[in-house]
């Protein structure tokens, strides 16, 4: 670990324009990732995880507006000229896309994909070195050299996914954002890919943001975990501490919803994530929260630090002067239940 983070995100906002108003997909997120560190980003679908990953790299669709700061190498990536940002993507900033198996050009051989990637960012490499680097990375993914000149349609979906992951890893980026990198892969290949990502950070000091729904992968592979809900990070801390003693009710509910060999009864969180065009007032989780209090629906929660290295966005952790007495809290919970029934 280094004292200075590889990337430092401060109050990042990404809004999508619609005819009904802006969708606040990422709304004031702050996050640091150190060299050689793996940070897991978890949360339900639609909470802004993929948008956060793309927002860090500036890979946003037309009509999206971003603000805040993403500090990398002493420079703010937000608002950086597109040409300069493109030069950083690949050798400095890498992305494994969600559902990467769909992103290969069907008219290009696998060999051509790797040659294009390496020549674009490392033009000093000769053909022999390009081939060596490409085959070495593909070999780590379990793809033999005999398939190097084949087309994407000649591979299964899982193998195409491994090829796309190899394309992201061949440049050895300093920051890698992996958006559901093991989707649709069997558990054996999944373990191989996680091992490769671990080697990458160990040998090259790569900082990794791992976006996933698989809490088991986070518990096994990540140093820290950030829990995202409705465009905000509601809890962050060391992975072990968050799993053993979750501080936010949303984190507790996520963990309760996880299926394991010991599961005897299925659990789910009532309701659904809110509409990010018009999110709830106060804490965005309060309409679904089993611990909701009167203040939760009235005021935005203030970030608290219940333990060293932990932060949580929840009124249950203070400040004390803002929290109403238990009688008021119970009354508010009853009012919320009546409103939901209505």
Q: Is the pLDDT of residue 64 over 90?
A: yes
The CATH number of the domain holding residue 82 is: 3.40.50.300
Q: How many CB atoms lie within 10 A of CB 209?
A: 25
Q: Is the pLDDT of residue 113 over 70?
A: yes
∠ Cα 126 87 201 (to 5°): 80
* pLDDT value for 14: 97
**Cis amide leading into 319 (omega within 30):** yes
Q: Is the pLDDT of residue 131 over 90?
A: yes
Provide the 8-state DSSP code for 35.
Answer: T
- Asked if residue 299 and residue 230 are part of one domain, the reply reads no
* pLDDT value for 100: 61
Q: What is the mean pLDDT of residues 88-108?
A: 84
Find the helix packing angle between 157-169 and 127-140, rounded to 10°.
Answer: 130
Q: Is the pLDDT of residue 327 over 50?
A: no
Contact 227, 254 (CB under 8 A): yes
- Asked if residue 190 and residue 155 are part of one domain, the reply reads no
| pLDDT (tens digit per residue) in 138-196 | 998 889 999 999 999 999 877 888 898 889 889 889 999 999 887 767 788 788 788 88
Choose the final residue of a domain: 251, 276, 302: 251
- Asked if residue 177 and residue 78 are part of one domain, the reply reads yes
Report the predicted TM-score, pTM, of the whole model to 2 decimal places. 0.87
- Asked if residue 198 and residue 141 are part of one domain, the reply reads no
Q: What is the mean pLDDT of residues 326-337?
A: 43
Q: In angstroms, rounded to a whole number, what is the distance separating the alpha carbons of residues 254 and 246? A: 10
Alpha-carbon torsion, ordered 214, 215, 217, 218, to 10 deg: 130
| Mean of all residue pLDDT scores within the chain | 87
In a domain, 279, yes or no: yes
Contacts of 149 (CB under 8 A, 6+ apart): 109, 110, 111
Choose the final residue of a domain: 167, 201, 216: 167
- Asked if residue 181 and residue 69 are part of one domain, the reply reads yes
| pLDDT (tens digit per residue) in 240-271 | 999 999 999 999 999 999 887 788 888 889 99
In a domain, 87, yes or no: yes
Say which residue the tokens 């956060």 belong to.
Answer: 52
In a domain, 300, yes or no: yes
The residue range of the domain holding 127 is 102-167
Confidence band of 3 (pLDDT split at 50, 70, 90):
low
Q: In angstroms, rounded to a whole number, what is the distance separating the alpha carbons of residues 135 and 80? A: 34
Q: Which residue has the higher pLDDT, 233 or 61?
A: 233
Q: Is the pLDDT of residue 319 over 60?
A: yes
- Asked if residue 1 and residue 86 are part of one domain, the reply reads yes
Choose the final residue of a domain: 251, 268, 289: 251
- Asked if residue 119 and residue 148 are part of one domain, the reply reads yes
- Asked if residue 202 and residue 185 are part of one domain, the reply reads yes
In a domain, 222, yes or no: yes
In a domain, 231, yes or no: yes
- Asked if residue 156 and residue 291 are part of one domain, the reply reads no
- Asked if residue 80 and residue 180 are part of one domain, the reply reads yes
- Asked if residue 237 and residue 180 are part of one domain, the reply reads yes
Tally the C-alpha atoms within 13 A of residue 90's C-alpha that lie toward its C-beta: 15
In a domain, 198, yes or no: yes
Q: Which residue has the higher pLDDT, 289 or 265?
A: 289
- Asked if residue 155 and residue 56 are part of one domain, the reply reads no
| Residue 144 CB burial class (10 angstroms; 0-12, 13-18, ≥19) | exposed
Q: Which residue has the higher pLDDT, 160 or 24?
A: 24
Say which residue the tokens 């400040």 belong to.
Answer: 319
In a domain, 97, yes or no: no
Q: What is the mean pLDDT of residues 111-140?
A: 92
- Residue 41's nearest CA partner among 206, 174, 177, 185 is 177
Domains held by the chain: number: 3
In a domain, 116, yes or no: yes
């Amino acid at each position: 670990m280094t004292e200075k983070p590889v990337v430092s995100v401060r109050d990042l906002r990404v809004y999508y324009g619609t005819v009904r108003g802006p969708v606040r997909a990422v709304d004031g997120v702050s996050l640091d990732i150190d060299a050689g560190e793996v940070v897991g980003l978890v949360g339900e679908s639609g909470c802004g995880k993929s948008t956060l990953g793309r927002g860090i790299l500036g890979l946003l669709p037309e009509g999206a507006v971003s603000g805040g700061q993403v500090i990398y190498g002493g420079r703010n990536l937000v608002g950086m000229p597109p040409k300069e940002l493109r030069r950083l993507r690949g050798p400095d900033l890498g992305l494994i896309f969600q559902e990467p198996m769909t992103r290969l050009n069907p008219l290009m051989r696998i060999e051509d994909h790797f040659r294009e990637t390496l020549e674009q960012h490392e033009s000093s490499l000769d053909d022999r070195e390009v081939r060596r680097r490409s085959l070495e990375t593909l070999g780590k993914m379990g793809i033999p050299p005999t398939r190097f000149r084949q087309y994407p349609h000649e591979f299964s979906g899982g193998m195409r996914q491994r090829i796309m992951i190899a394309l992201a890893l061949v440049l050895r980026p300093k920051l890698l954002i992996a958006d559901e990198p093991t989707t649709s892969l069997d558990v054996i290949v999944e373990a191989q890919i996680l091992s490769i990502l671990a080697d990458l950070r160990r040998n090259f000091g790569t900082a990794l943001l791992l976006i996933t729904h698989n809490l088991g992968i986070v518990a096994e592979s990540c140093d820290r975990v950030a829990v995202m809900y409705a465009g905000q990070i509601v809890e962050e801390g060391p992975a072990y501490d968050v799993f053993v003693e979750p501080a936010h009710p949303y984190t507790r509910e996520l963990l309760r919803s996880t299926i394991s060999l010991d599961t005897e009864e299925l659990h789910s969180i009532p309701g659904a994530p809110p509409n990010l065009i018009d999110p709830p007032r106060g804490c965005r989780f309060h309409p679904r929260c089993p611990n909701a209090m009167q203040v939760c629906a009235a005021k935005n929660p203030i970030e608290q630090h219940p333990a060293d290295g932990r932060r949580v966005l929840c009124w249950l952790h203070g400040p004390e002067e803002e929290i109403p007495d238990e009688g008021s809290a119970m009354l508010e919970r009853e009012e919320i239940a009546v409103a939901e029934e209505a």
